[in-house]
């Protein structure tokens, strides 16, 4: 038990410290790397409370896919940090407001403020009994029965976002030479070569 | 006396720690030996394909060649370029090597022979294998060199693309098994060798193997280190043991993906024929033989095929493998559901 508490404090401390470094570090590449460290330790925290499925999905989706693309983009950008910091005071109130809202939601979830019915524990009571089955199965049962339509709609929203991004960036460029693998494979000998009988001293 | 030892190793925290350490060593040491001799086998196989002899000077049949190579790498000087980012430059090969090693914690070598028999074993493997790209991309950026950076970008794009199809392959296998535990995946394939998933899921096995080639940056997908264009790709600036770690990590990753292929499609520790004398052979030997078979195909392709062009590589990943594997997931789910073969929870 004491080992678990120790592990919790280590992971939590690293999460908070690296989250702070994301905001304060001067090099954007370092920021992304610290963000990855924060994700990773958050996954470890999920593991500690026994949410193994969420932990793995966090690593696969955020660390393995999202952060890679982030890093990809940030490494190729030549960001001028002094320019970036100029707008800091201008945006500070908005940022502080969003932070305050998130913090209030967190307190509401834990149950420090507000009534007892909004807490995470109270919401958990509606779900299946988690202790009896492993949590991959538990999440699957809730997601594909109780929240089936919401789940599908969430997928649809993501699809629309993806199509939107493609529509915004797609432009038709004339004169682009594309490789069509199907045509290449279906080409026959008759289409590809023509045998010409060249007369002597006549040329083609 | 014996009971005392048993209670020490199962209840005392020191005993548990020692036991875990021993288990780690029991996996890591054979793995590193396998990596060393995989390089030897690779070179011998390519040599046979090209009608050469391969390494044959150090030791009998050149068997000590990997040891000599390792010693050479250890004794060389580690050079850190002056314009490189020192910390990240050193961390990158460590990440590449570590991710290749930690994934082995969930691989079942025999019935019950696994360090961590966790419920989400497949997801763990998938998560760890998606981390391998960081070693490469950080190396490319920290080297502060054009070749290394281009190699890293190519590698990142390639690994992210092919992970998608590997993910769908894993989903089809999970549908047939009904569990994310790797031991249960193997147990679901018991019986004759046509009960293993390679036959019912043959297209997925092919897609898995080709994606594994791309994940490990092997020929025909070795664009990230194509020596004709990028010198040595992301590890251009690395020397001595920092390079050695990349090299070991690459081979450990290859063996890992072969092990995953053996677990998912070739029945893990099961013998091909479920009768004596085949069942008398320990399961771990069957498992090793299956890994060796897949590794041989890895070397074979490297000795045979030319390199893909980069746009063709991307086309294959996104326009061929992704739709095919997605369709196969839907098809498998439909067949299992309407054929009544859905695994019981």
Average pLDDT (A20-48) is 87
CA angle A122, A128, A130 (to 5 degrees): 90
Query: What average pLDDT does range A99-106 have in this prediction?
Result: 89
**Residue range B116-129: mean pLDDT, rounded:** 86
Q: How far is B296 from chain A (nearest CA, A)?
A: 29
Q: Does any CB of chain A come closer than 8 Å to the CB of residue B13?
A: yes
Q: Which two tokens stand for residue B27?
A: 């996996």
Residues above pLDDT 90, as percent of chain A: 21
Q: How far apart are CA A129 and CA A112, in angstroms?
A: 25
Please, which pLDDT band fits residue A124 given cuts at 50, 70 and 90? low
Point out the residue among A36, A71, A134 whose CB comes nearest to the CB of B119: A134
Q: Sort out which chain A residues have CB atoms less than 8 A from B138's CB and list them.
A: 33
The pLDDT value given to residue A38: 92
Cβ count within 10 A of residue A188: 7
Q: Residue A86: enclosing H or E segment and its boundaries?
A: helix A81-86
- Number of other CB atoms surrounding residue A130 within 10 Å: 15
Angle at B224 between CA B218 and CA B229, to 5 degrees: 115
Give the pLDDT score at A163.
Answer: 94
Confidence band for A121, pLDDT divided at 50, 70 and 90: low
Q: Which two tokens stand for residue B87?
A: 């910390």
Local structure of A179: helix, strand or coil = coil
Q: Do A76 and B119 touch (CB under 8 A)?
A: no
Q: Output the CA torsion sign for A42, A48, A52, A56.
A: positive
Query: Rounded CA gap, B204 and A69, in Å?
Result: 27
**Cis status, amide bond into A101, omega within 30 of 0:** no
Residue in A with minimal Cα distance to B315: A181
CA of B118 to nearest chain A CA: how many angstroms apart?
9
H or E element, residue B20: helix B13-49
pLDDT of residue A165: 92
Measured in angstroms, the CA of A137 and the nearest CA of chain B are apart by: 9
Task: Give the per-residue pLDDT at A127.
Answer: 58
Decide if pLDDT at A155 tops 90. yes
For residue A56, list chain B residues with Cβ-Cβ distance below 8 A.
Answer: 120, 123-124, 126-127
Cβ within 8 Å, pair A56-B123:
yes
Contacts of B68 (CB under 8 A, 6+ apart): B58
pLDDT digits (tens, 9 = 90+) for B51-91: 998 888 888 888 888 889 889 888 988 888 888 777 888 88
pLDDT tens for each residue of B263-303: 989 888 888 877 778 777 788 888 899 999 999 999 999 88
| ipTM of model | 0.81
Distance from CA of A198 to the nearest CA of B (A): 36
> Two tokens at B101?
């090693």
Dist. CA B268–CA B260, nearest whole Å: 9
CA angle B307, B308, B311 (to 5 degrees): 150
> How many whole angstroms separate alpha carbon B43 and alpha carbon B316?
28
Could you give the CA distance from residue A187 to residue B199 in angstroms, rounded to a whole number?
32
Of B195 and A79, the one with more pLDDT:
B195
From the list B117, B87, B166, the residue with the least C-alpha distance to A30 is B87
Predicted pLDDT of residue B85 = 79
CA distance B193 to B84: 52
Query: pTM of the full predicted structure?
Result: 0.84
Winning range, highest mean pLDDT, from A156-165, A174-183, B334-343? A156-165
- The answer to whether B215 touches B257, Cβ cutoff 8 Å, is yes
Residue A15: is its pLDDT beyond 90?
yes
The rounded mean pLDDT for chain A is: 83
The pLDDT score that the predictor gives to residue A114 is 63
Do B141 and A29 count as a contact with CB atoms less than 8 A apart? yes
Work out the burial of residue B334: count CB atoms within 10 Å of its CB; fewer than 13 is exposed, 13-18 middle, 19 or more buried.
exposed
Interface of A with B in 38-77 (CB under 8 A): 52-53, 56-57, 59-60, 63-65, 68-69, 71-72, 75-76
| Residue A193 per-residue DSSP state | -
* SS3 state of residue B305: coil
Probe site for chain B from A3, A50, A68 (most B CB atoms < 10 A): A68
* A36 in reach of chain B (CB within 8 A): yes
Candidates B119, B137, B311; nearest CB to A71: B137
Residues of B in contact with A33 (CB under 8 A): 88, 138
| Residue pLDDT, tens place only, A127-152 | 555 556 778 888 888 888 888 899 99
Locate B117 and state its tokens: 């028999």
* CA atoms within a 13 Å half-sphere pointing along the CA-CB vector of A55: 21
Give residue B164's pLDDT: 87
Determine the Cα–Cα distance for residues B232 and B136; give it in Å rounded to an integer.
12
């Amino acid at each position: 038990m004491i080992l678990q508490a120790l592990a919790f404090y280590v992971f939590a401390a690293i999460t908070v410290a690296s989250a702070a470094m994301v905001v304060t570090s001067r090099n954007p590449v370092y920021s992304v790397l610290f963000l990855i460290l924060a994700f990773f330790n958050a996954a470890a925290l999920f593991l500690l409370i026994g949410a193994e499925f969420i932990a793995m999905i966090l690593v696969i989706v955020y660390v393995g896919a999202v952060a890679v693309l982030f890093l990809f983009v940030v490494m190729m950008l030549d960001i001028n940090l002094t320019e970036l910091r100029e707008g800091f005071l201008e945006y500070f109130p908005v940022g502080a407001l969003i932070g305050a809202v998130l913090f209030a939601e967190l307190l509401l979830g834990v149950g420090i403020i507000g009534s007892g019915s909004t807490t995470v524990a109270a919401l958990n009571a509606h779900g299946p009994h988690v202790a009896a089955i492993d949590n991959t199965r538990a999440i699957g049962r809730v997601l594909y029965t109780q929240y089936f339509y919401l789940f599908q709609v969430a997928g649809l929203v993501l699809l629309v976002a993806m199509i939107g991004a493609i529509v915004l960036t797609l432009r038709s460029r004339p004169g682009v030479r594309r490789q069509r693998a199907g045509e290449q494979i279906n080409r026959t000998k008759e289409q590809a070569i023509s045998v010409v009988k060249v007369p002597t001293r006549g040329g083609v | 006396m014996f009971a005392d030892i048993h209670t020490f190793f199962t209840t005392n925290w020191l005993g548990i720690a020692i036991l875990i350490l021993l288990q780690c060593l029991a996996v890591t040491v054979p793995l590193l030996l396998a990596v060393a001799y995989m390089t030897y086998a690779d070179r011998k196989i390519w040599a046979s394909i090209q009608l050469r002899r391969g390494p044959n000077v150090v030791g009998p049949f050149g068997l000590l060649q990997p040891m000599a190579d390792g010693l050479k790498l250890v004794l060389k000087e580690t050079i850190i370029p002056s314009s490189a980012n020192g910390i990240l430059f050193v961390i990158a090969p460590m990440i590449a090597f570590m991710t290749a090693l930690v994934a082995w914690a969930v691989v079942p070598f025999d019935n019950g022979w696994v360090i961590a028999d966790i419920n989400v074993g497949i997801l763990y493997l998938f998560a760890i294998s998606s981390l391998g790209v960081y070693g490469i991309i950080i190396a490319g950026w920290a080297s502060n060199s054009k070749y290394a950076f281009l190699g890293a970008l190519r590698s990142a794009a390639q690994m992210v693309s092919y992970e998608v199809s590997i993910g769908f392959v894993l989903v089809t296998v999970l549908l047939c098994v009904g569990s994310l535990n790797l031991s249960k995946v193997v147990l679901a394939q018991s019986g004759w060798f046509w009960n293993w998933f390679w036959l019912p899921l043959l297209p997925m096995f092919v897609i898995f193997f080709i994606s594994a080639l791309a994940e490990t940056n092997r020929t025909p997908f070795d664009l990230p280190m194509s020596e004709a264009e990028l010198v040595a790709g992301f590890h251009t600036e690395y020397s001595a043991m920092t390079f050695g770690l990349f090299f070991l990590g690459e081979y450990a990753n290859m063996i890992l993906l072969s092990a995953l292929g053996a677990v998912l499609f070739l029945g893990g520790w099961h013998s091909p024929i479920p009768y004596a004398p085949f069942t008398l052979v320990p399961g771990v030997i069957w498992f090793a033989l299956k890994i060796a078979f897949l590794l041989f195909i890895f070397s074979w392709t490297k000795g045979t095929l030319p390199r893909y062009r980069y746009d063709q590589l991307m086309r294959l990943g996104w326009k061929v493998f992704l739709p095919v594997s997605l369709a196969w997931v839907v098809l498998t789910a439909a067949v299992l559901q309407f054929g009544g073969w859905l695994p019981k929870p």
